[in-house]
Chains A and B, each alone.
Chain A
């Protein structure tokens, strides 16, 4: 076990350190052995040996996982700690807003019925809460790609003054003052302790395990349980593949890229999207292509939650796409903007999109708050 911990993720340069590392590892191995020996008598202590590694699901119909699981392998206690943190209001300034407040499991970890994320003191953000399903398969996070590593994502909502309004340092102080947390951190990580690294690793472990892969559609494409799609759903799938799948690619239903889909900017907000991160006017009004998994559950839609139904979304792609210098070329065909769709096609598409709902995922007790 100790060897595994030290192997992870360090790029070493220079001969000196190459000598140092094995020594350090050996010392830790000895220390752990001593600690282990002491603690075997203490019944309250959760021995590290009990902290078994959890298996991470990589469905056969998915692209490879992006997250480096070897660098932070989810374990029983690491996952449980991540879950405890995820549902703890202590992560916010007023003690009430947890991650799970806006990311509700039954809506595939989105904030159903809320156009914008709500934060402390009734403050409101400017973007709609995105789903957390299958994050380990993506390389950019948040609507604008404000981070390209899943581990570092939680910093954004925690420190955002209209979301959780905290500082990481203050969160860690609160956790350090709590003996349950001190114990949980020590049980979860070989180099225990309440610190930034372990905090972010634990939440990442919880998110990495959130794989949604058992919808009707998945079972159909994997030929499981004799699941078939109805005629209308199959027509919808066919339309989807012809008209939607150039952006909503693979069985993740997103290529993870940033695109301007022609939504008229809300003049009250004028959210520039990706350009706020890149500083490039070429990225104006571009947002990450969202996955469509569980899309029937994740209303309202778009980065600003402006559409209340899938019908409205499809109507927008049919009639509402607005031209601008950064409009995605795939939505512009000569003078024609958007995606041509008939009413029957829209009905079929919605029937198909509903097959992406994964009841097992939204009811999975491993992720449940209570």
Chain B
């Protein structure tokens, strides 16, 4: 009888524990999963369509022909503050609107309930100074997507091009915004942290999609106002490039998260 009692107590306790866990929503998640991050390029609430024009708050009308940027060093944080850092040697991605490459796929993410996402825009000096070995195939990809900055022997973090008109520039005029670090003298790599609003749940069976919206309007018309009528080609400007870097890192918001098998948007 005694042993039966013991066993029943154990069963009871186990049930209690299990039910407690369920209530907390901390059901055991195991294994690893894939996290997809969609970079949905837009302009101030409208879908970005290359070749279409958008008017900003500075009354400049931009026809965007190219929007490519490098995103890197992804980190996912759960509600307890545990951080998963994506491996640096696989952690650099070039997104390109014209090539339709707007999704970043993070492999082998440990099971968990993640509540915030951090990533960088561009390539940090630590990575650059690893030399040939550290760049892996990023240089190859950068060259094929117009993101290699050959006369700086480095990377364009952002390549934003098209034409514009304004009250003072009435003929459609090319604009080119290339932003990156300026050799060893100015580091324009910036990171951004976004609260996911809800949980992105990762496990052996669960591979979430984090749907971000990137508001390209922010690049020139964000926290800092950059007038194309004043200067339409900005590549290495000690004053404007850091402002563009800040605007660009601030263009991302979390739109929604799909939890599930990771197939459906």
Contacts and interface: CB of A to CB of B under 8 A. Distances in A.
B238 A147 contact: no
A277 B152 CA distance: 7
B133 A197 contact: yes
Given A168-B140, A279-B182, A279-B237, A71 B153 contact: no
A17 B89 CA distance: 10
A315 interface: no
A157 to B, nearest CB: 9
Interface residues of B, number: 39
A206 to B, nearest CB: 13
B182 A152 contact: no
Interface stretch (B124-132, B200-208, B250-258): B124-132
Interface centre among A20, A141, A159, A198, by most chain B C-beta atoms within 10 angstroms, is A159
B185 interface: yes
B143 A276 contact: no
A3 interface: no
Contacts of B5: none
A9 B238 CA distance: 31
A150 interface: yes
Contacts of B130: 9-11, 71
Given A16-B110, A72-B131, A147 B152 contact: yes
A9 B133 contact: yes
Contacts of B144: 169
B153 A72 contact: no
Contact of A147 (B133, B136, B153): B153
A149 B183 CA distance: 10
Contacts of A27: none
Contacts of B241: 279
Interface in B86-138: 86-89, 108, 110, 126, 128-137
A197 B135 contact: yes
Contacts of B237: 279
A147 B85 contact: no
A196 interface: yes
A13 interface: yes
Contact of A280 (B136, B139, B185): B185
A156 B131 contact: no
A141 B237 CA distance: 21
B81 to A, nearest CB: 15
B88 A13 contact: yes
A20 B108 CA distance: 11
Contacts of B3: none
Contacts of B87: 12-14, 16-17, 20
Contacts of B236: 276-279
A12 B131 CA distance: 16
Contacts, number: 142
A160 B131 contact: no
A152 B149 CA distance: 11
Contact of A156 (B86, B88, B150): B150
A68 interface: yes
B-side interface mostly: mixed
Contacts of B186: 278-280
A77 interface: no
Contact of B137 (A13, A17, A195): A195
Contact of A283 (B128, B133, B139, B185): B185
Interface centre among B84, B129, B133, by most chain A C-beta atoms within 10 angstroms, is B133
B112 to A, nearest CB: 12
A167 interface: yes
A281 B86 contact: no
Contacts of B136: 197
B151 A156 contact: yes
B131 A68 contact: yes
A362 interface: no
Interface in A170-203: 172, 195-201
A248 to B, nearest CB: 21
A314 B45 CA distance: 64
29 contacts: A8-B133, A9-B130, A10-B89, A11-B130, A16-B87, A16-B108, A72-B132, A140-B184, A144-B183, A147-B183, A148-B129, A148-B184, A155-B148, A159-B148, A159-B151, A168-B139, A168-B143, A195-B137, A196-B137, A274-B185, A276-B236, A277-B182, A277-B185, A278-B182, A278-B236, A279-B186, A280-B182, A280-B238, A281-B238
Given A279-B186, A280-B182, 13 more contacts: A9-B133, A11-B130, A146-B183, A149-B129, A150-B131, A159-B148, A160-B151, A168-B143, A169-B140, A277-B185, A279-B182, A279-B239, A279-B241
Q: Which 4 A-B pairs have the closest CB atoms?
A: A147-B153, A159-B150, A200-B132, A151-B131
